[in-house]
Structure 1
Amino acid sequence: MLTEHCSKKRKFKSDYQHEKISKRLKTSIKHKKILSNIECLPNEIFYQIFSYLTDRELLNSFCFTLKNKRFDELIRNRTSINFRSIQRSQLIHLIYKNSLINQKILRQIHLFNDDNTPGLINLFFNLYSFDLFPNLKILVLDQPEQTDLIKLMKYFSKLEHLSIRLSTLVRMPSIVYTNLYSSVLCSSLKSLTIIDDPDEPITLPENMSLPYLKNLTLGSLTSFDIQKIFQAAPKLSYFKFHLNSEQSDTQNEQCINTNITRIDIDAPRAEFDLISKILFQTRKLKSLKICCRGESAWVWECFIRSFLPNLIDFRFKFDIRQRNISILEYEQDWWTKVKKWIVIGHPLSSVFYTLPFIDTKLTLNARTAFRQQNCFSSKLSNEYSNIRQLILTLNPLGFKLCQSNDVYFNNIDSLTLIDYKNSQKPVSHLSTLINLINIRHLTIDHRMRSGTFLLLIKEMPQLNSISGQDVAFSAITNKFQNEIVISFLKKNIQKLTISPSKACDDIRYVSQLCVVFSHITHINLSLKWAIDIWPWLKLSNLSSATVFCRHGSFINLINDPANHKWFFNCTYELRSHQDLRLWIQ
């Protein structure tokens, strides 16, 4: 009996293994057939497929998943690379595998120094000299470090299209900026974009020559600077800039007839007189986007009729505070029927604008919401589709605004809640005002309580980033006693921004906060002393940090022999004595 039982057991085990092996063989054959069918496609179709993928998706799908020489060769022979959010380890692997790029045919490079790709620009150009790209025409650099910028400047004159987004947190030395603009504003560029802090004026070189430039985006310019650019770039067709109206000099200006057809002006404090002197020189203009102080509809109509006869697309935001201007002026037939420009008044502020609304950030407070609650109606429900960041300072009184079932803010991904009391009713009303499902970042203050926070996070399944003061986190966790809130923060929050309740104080509850946020990957800190950084750097999953201290210096911290080994094993960028950016291996 026992022998028979053992025999049946062995037979069952054998049949099971046979069935398992059979399934594996079928799966393998099926996979090979699919792969074989894919390989039958011509190269042109593969390049078409590649165009729909980011470089990160492309490398993950073809280089690491499918080990195939043909795919490696196709990827190497691309004429464009865009390394947004590609992991540093993947990039190094591909570079040393020599399956990343073919330098001789590459025409376009996009490189980023973000939290996922720290020091990428420096790494890339240390391994590939700029001289190895004879056909490179387009270069995009996102937040290059100062050393990278200085090293690459001499090559900018060889390009046709250049885009640089500078870090706005800390300014580089003025000599770096002077050399940057001198190197790019006397070249054969066809397109130039330099995105910088709009409040920092640019110093343009005295002698500029841009005979081929067609598209230009710069930061803060005076009217005198704009005049110099008009003279230096006769072929300019698109121009975007921030107008520094406080430093504008309108004396000794010459009138130039430019070839500009599209212009984008950000000038929130500029008057019509200054704007009109610039636009007077753009008589071929077809598209105008502008933010400035308001003027009557009749003045704009007369100017457009006289000097901008080709204008088709007119998008604006006018601030009409302390101006005797009525929305009815912009509802005349010439605006609505002839030009078909629909102008409406913002229900929550003293602003007139054309649809669609051109801002992505909005502040909504209890006073304006309560005063303007009658302005909300179903016909305006799509007005705020462009708003991504909402700063909400509504207390329960202000939620009288939210009585209907219409959701006014559908696409918010960053929400700031101020003066939010411990009440369930406002939370239920909040979901009638905002589509909470898309929110990824939340900023709170110390008035938030744990019960309210739990109700909020139930509506925010994608929340992974949070900001607040130390006392705010103490409040939502009920002095670090609420296990449900703590469990959520540990499991879901990947990015943290934290500061003390008062600028002159230290961050409190450091040990408790380090336990609650033990799984975060990025932290943004505001410290009193530089040495206070150490407890936060011990977080096991931390991969990057941006830290500012009000006292002391990070230079002394880095140069201390006791800390040398730690800083030697990580990548860091010292933007100033008190501003440090870290990428931790």
Structure 2
Amino acid sequence: MPTKLNPSLLTLPVELLYRILEYLDVHTILLSFHKVCTKFHTITQTFNGYELDFSSSTKDDFHFICHLIHPENVISIIVSDRETTPGQIKLFFSLFQIQQFTRLRSLTLDNIDCKDLNEILHDILPCSLMFLSCHTRGKRNKLTLGLLSMFITESSLRQLSINTHAHHVAEIFSSIQSNLRHLTIGTCTYEEYHKILRHCPHLRTLIIDDCWMTDIDETNSIGSLPIFYHQLIS
């Protein structure tokens, strides 16, 4: 009589284990699953759907994961320069070149210095990013705004989140036709709100933290005929 196998993770096909890993965070995969057995160790090295979130990582975990990870297997990166993770962004990009992340689709740069952002924007243009979030500290200069404008124009970006200040949006969207579908910004003027929608014909959702209504003129006043942008759904 044939021996009946008891089902376990070890008997599952590799493809199914990959699907399971998609629901686990990188800490669980590399700090726990990775150490169970030789088979799981091999699977963690070939799995190509890693989402790196270092926003709350300890220094030890950060270095351990960076040591084990293969850049070509990463699809998402979150790095942060908050009080609990000072200098993390510069450290991360001293260990890796962004071009190594050939499958990267999402990049979040939290509380990044504008000078560091300028360097990264130069390098990420060849990447096939679909999502970019960059919340900066300090005042943005014209170089930063110009690089953001160029990146939005020339990349495959579909979703963008930036903590803009009033009158900065106009410089980013002054002369581009963007393929953005989803946009989240900080502060903008009423004129800039219209400028965004004129230059983003494919935009589906727009989230604004604060819109200044002080620049409504006679030709674009609340009492005039409304302007509709039918591309938006929210």
TM-score, normalised via structure 1 length: 0.34
Question: Which protein has greater RCO, CA pairs closer than 8 Å, 6+ apart?
Answer: 2
One-letter identity of the residue aligned with 1:71: F
User: Any conservation in 2 of the 1:191–1:213 contact (CA below 8 Å)?
Assistant: yes
Q: CA deviation at 1:136?
A: 2.2
Matched, 1:38 2:9: yes
How far is 1:38 from its partner? 3.2
Deviations 1:100-158 (A, max 9, x none): 12x33433222233344332221221111112223322212222233421210113444
CA distance in 1, matches of 2:120, 2:150: 10
Which of 24, 49, 63 is equivalent to 1:79? 49
Return the offset for 1:285. 5.3
- Correspondence list, 1:82-93, <5 A: 82-83=52-53, 84-93=55-64
2:71 pairs with 1:62: no
Answering whether residue 161 of structure 2 is matched by residue 193 of structure 1, we say: yes
TM-score between both structures, scaled by the size of structure 2? 0.77
2:105 aligned with 1:137, yes or no?
yes
- Deviation of the 1:275 alpha carbon: 11
> Does residue 234 of structure 1 match 2:204?
no
Query: Retained in 2: the 8 A contact 1:193–1:217?
Result: yes
Aligned to 1:164: 134
Q: CA deviation at 1:186?
A: 2.4
Number of residues paired by the alignment? 221
SS in structure 2 at match of 1:281:
coil
In 1: Cα distance, 2:17 partner to 2:29 partner: 11
Structure 1 Cα separation of the partners of residues 33 and 223 of structure 2: 55
| CA displacement 1:140-179 (0-9 Å, x = unmatched) | 2222233421210113444332112234xxx235345434
Query: Which residue matches 2:85?
Result: 117
> How far, CA to CA, are the matches of 1:133 and 1:86 in structure 2?
20
Give the direction of change, closer, same or farther, for the CA distance of 1:187–1:218 in structure 2 (3 Å limit).
farther
For residues 51 and 185 of structure 1, do their structure 2 counterparts lie closer, same or farther at Cα, with a shift above 3 Å needed?
closer
User: Quick check: 1:218–1:240 contact (8 Å CA) kept in 2?
Assistant: yes
**Structure 1 residues 285 and 216: alpha-carbon distance in aligned structure 2, compared to 1, 3 A threshold:** closer
1:427-506 equivalence runs, <5 A:
none
CA deviation string 1:165-202 (max 9, x = no partner): 234xxx23534543454334423321111135x6x542
Question: Does residue 204 in structure 1 map to residue 170 in structure 2?
Answer: yes
Q: Is the 8 Å Cα contact of residues 74 and 104 (structure 2) preserved in structure 1?
A: yes
The 3 A distance-change label for structure 1 pair 123 and 274 is farther
Partner of 1:100: 69
Q: Percent identity?
A: 22
- Which whole-Å deviations, capped at 9, do the CAs of 1:392-435 have from their partners, x for residues lacking one? xxxxxxxxxxxxxxxxxxxxxxxxxxxxxxxxxxxxxxxxxxxx
Change (3 A) 1:55 1:104: closer
**Cα deviation digits, residues 269-323 of structure 1 (max 9, x gap):** xxx928984xx31346554xxxxxxxxxxxxxxxxxxxxxxxxxxxxxxxxxxxx
How far apart are the structure 2 equivalents of 1:213 and 1:203? 14
- Written as runs of structure 1 = structure 2, the 5 A alignment for 1:365-380 is none
What is the rounded CA distance, in whole Å, between the counterparts of 1:68 and 1:150 in structure 2?
43
AA aligned opposite 1:273: I
Match of 1:231, SS state, is helix
Q: Distance in 2 between matches of 1:182 and 1:209?
A: 10
Q: Is the 8 A contact 1:193 1:216 kept in 2?
A: yes
SS at match of 1:39: helix
C-alpha distance in 2 between matches for 1:68 and 1:144: 39
The equivalences for 1:352-363 within 5 A come to none
The reply on whether 1:128 has 2:96 as its aligned counterpart is: yes
**Which residue of the partner structure matches residue 220 of structure 1?**
187
Residue 225 to residue 157, structure 1, CA distance change in 2 (3 Å): farther
Structure 1 residues 328-339: aligned runs within 5 Å:
none
Distance 1:283 1:129 in 2: 41
**CA distance, structure 2, for counterparts of residue 275 and residue 156 of structure 1:** 43
Structure 2: unaligned runs, 5 residues or longer: 1-5
Deviations 1:516-559 (A, max 9, x none): xxxxxxxxxxxxxxxxxxxxxxxxxxxxxxxxxxxxxxxxxxxx
- What amino acid maps onto 2:135 in structure 1? R
**Distance in 1 of aligned mates of 2:38 and 2:225:** 60
Cα deviation, residue 37, structure 1: 4.0
Deviations 1:81-100 (A, max 9, x none): 2223222212213433xx21
Q: Which residue of 2 aligns with 1:416?
A: none
Asked if structure 2 preserves the Cα contact closer than 8 Å seen for 1:182 and 1:204, the reply is: no
Cα 1:105/1:52, change in 2 over 3 Å: closer
SS at match of 1:204: helix
Paired residue secondary structure (1:186): helix
| 1:284/1:41 CA distance change after superposition, 3 Å | same
- Structure 1's 152 and 252: CA in aligned 2 closer, same or farther, altered over 3 A? farther
Change (3 A) 1:118 1:73: farther
Q: What is the identity, as a one-letter code, of the residue corresponding to 1:144? A: I
Q: Cα gap change, 1:275/1:62 in structure 2, threshold over 3 Å: closer, same or farther?
A: farther
Cα distance between partner residues in 1 of 2:223 and 2:183: 21
**Cα 1:223–1:148, aligned 2, differ >3 Å: closer, same or farther?**
same
Secondary structure at the aligned position of 1:240 is classed as strand
> Partners of 2:223 and 2:188 in 1: how far apart?
13
Whether contact under 8 Å (1:154, 1:183) holds in the other structure is no
